[in-house]
Amino acid sequence: METSNDLSAWWMPFTANRPFKESPRLFVSAAGVHYRTADGRDILDGTAGLWCVNAGHAQPRIVEAICDSARTLDFAPTFQMGHPSAFELAERLVEATGRKFSQVFYTNSGSEAVDTALKMALAYHRVRGEGTRTRLIGRERGYHGVGFGGISVGGMANNRKWFGSLLNGVDHMPHTHDPARAFTRGVPLHGAGIADELERIVALHDASTIAAVIVEPVAGSTGVLVPPAGYLQRLRDICTRHGILLIFDEVISGFGRLGTPFAMDYFGVEPDLMTVAKGITNGCVPMGAVFVKAAVHDAFMQGPSGAIEFFHGYTYSGHPLACAAALATLDTYDEVGAYANAASLAAVFEDALHALRGRRHVIDVRNVGLVGGVELAAREAQPGARGMEAFKRAFEHGILVRVTGDTLALSPPLVIERTQIEQLCRVLGEVLDTIE
Ligand SMILES: Cc1ncc(COP(=O)(O)O)c(C=O)c1O
């Protein structure tokens, strides 16, 4: 099994394929907050898979729901057709936002949710007779998946530079990270003024050309960048003032990661559109969604009644297995008290993470809810090398962390226990001592 030939046919995503296939890391099963490797070791899951398995692995209710659905209704088309669980789920999801949104549009991933939201924003202005609003504003160090829309508004050079000129008419706000505030616990109290850069961008292009602004409330994949207090509210105010739609990309922060249902609840700021994926099904079946405010949805509901209102959708939008998994996931989050557990352990997590201050190579620790970043000093002329070595060494020592550049990101299942959080951070500290 472990020869490079056996592994060669799968071109793996976001992976250094050659070294991986020389020395693979293979999972064969998972339960609770642990993975089991092909060589029989248990690995403590410090990343909820890939920021998605919020209720922990192999939750029986979710497993059963998926199996039942596969037996009963394996697939149903959703163009000009429907099936009950897709409607039931939409209602439950809307309810989960406290009815701040009135509709849900299904996709199969976060990337598709982002591209869907961007298209919705463009079309929204057009159906209202403001077709000049075609510009999209993202942010440096933003990650919005890998579709052409997402990489265009995203701000990660490596995800962009290979793929040509991308979408036209996109601009970027500066990111919110300030290294001078290293080791801030939780939300930084200062720095909200950086949001006013959006005013500058609006003044430059004129509001009449701008359709939407998209941000992750907490930037995850670029190393856990927590926004300063008041920053998101300022973005909200500027967007409202200029008739620009605000999109929160909650693919990571949605479904309890910060101890509240969504980051919009944590920060008390409501976007016009919200994208989700990952935790919507506890990571068990691919699914994403865009939550839509009534005013946006209703703008489309005009014209002849036989006309399709939005020319967009995926074969697997509202797939029965995904809907079944998502319904069971919402029940499971309630049953196991996942969000409340995340909220109550956030302070423990913060303490355990910040105890890494002073350990070898650590130049910053950032956290909010159950998401944290530990930034290491980069090696001379080798950005990312130390982070990658730490990630591999952590795996050898029985913990799964995520590496992004030289930042190690932690986002454990929300059902993790206090002692497991302490174990995660203790082992990580020991690992850092072993690397150069
Ligand atoms: C904020 C954000 N948006 C979009 C995506 C893309 O999601 P997917 O990988 O499901 O396409 C991610 C993935 O990590 C994400 O973190």
For residue 128, what are the CA distances in angstroms to 82, 120, 271, 292, 303? 28, 12, 19, 16, 12
- Measured between alpha carbons, how far is 371 from 374 in angstroms, rounded to an integer? 10
**Does residue 207 lie in a domain region?**
yes
Average pLDDT over residues 164-171: 95
Average pLDDT over residues 312-322: 98
Cβ-based neighbour number of residue 199 at 10 Å: 14
State in Å: Cα 49 to ligand 1 middle: 13
Instruction: Name which of 264, 265, 257, 276 is nearest 369 in CA terms.
Output: 257
pLDDT of residue 276 exceeding 50 = yes
pLDDT of residue 2 exceeding 70 = no
Owning domain of residue 343: 17-58+337-434
**Does residue 12 lie in a domain region?**
no
Cβ-based neighbour number of residue 194 at 10 Å: 18
Q: Of 335, 353, 375, which residue is a domain's last? A: 335
Instruction: Note whether 51 and 73 are same-domain residues.
Output: no
Q: Which residue owns the Cα nearest ligand 1 atom 7?
A: 110
The reported pLDDT for the residue numbered 33 is 98
The reported pLDDT for the residue numbered 3 is 47
**Does residue 7 lie in a domain region?**
no
Q: Of 272, 307, 335, which residue is a domain's last? A: 335
Q: Which residue owns the Cα nearest ligand 1 atom 5?
A: 145
- Quote the number of domains for the chain: 2
- Measured between alpha carbons, how far is 173 from 227 in angstroms, rounded to an integer? 13
Which CATH number do you get for residue 146?
A: 3.40.640.10
Q: Of 300, 335, 370, which residue is a domain's last? A: 335
**pTM for the whole thing?**
0.97
The reported pLDDT for the residue numbered 5 is 62
Percent helix, percent strand, percent coil in the chain, to nearest 5: 40, 15, 45
To test the pocket of ligand 1, the residue of 107, 252, 287 to mutate (highest count of ligand atoms within 8 Å of its CB) is 252
To test the pocket of ligand 1, the residue of 107, 112, 144, 262 to mutate (highest count of ligand atoms within 8 Å of its CB) is 144
**Does residue 48 lie in a domain region?**
yes
**Does residue 6 lie in a domain region?**
no
Q: Quick: pLDDT tens for 386-419.
A: 999 999 999 999 999 999 999 999 999 999 999 9
Instruction: Note whether 129 and 234 are same-domain residues.
Output: yes
Q: Quick: pLDDT tens for 10-42.
A: 999 999 999 999 999 999 999 999 999 999 999
pLDDT of residue 164 exceeding 50 = yes
**Does residue 3 lie in a domain region?**
no
Which CATH number do you get for residue 367?
A: 3.90.1150.10
State in Å: Cα 129 to ligand 1 middle: 31
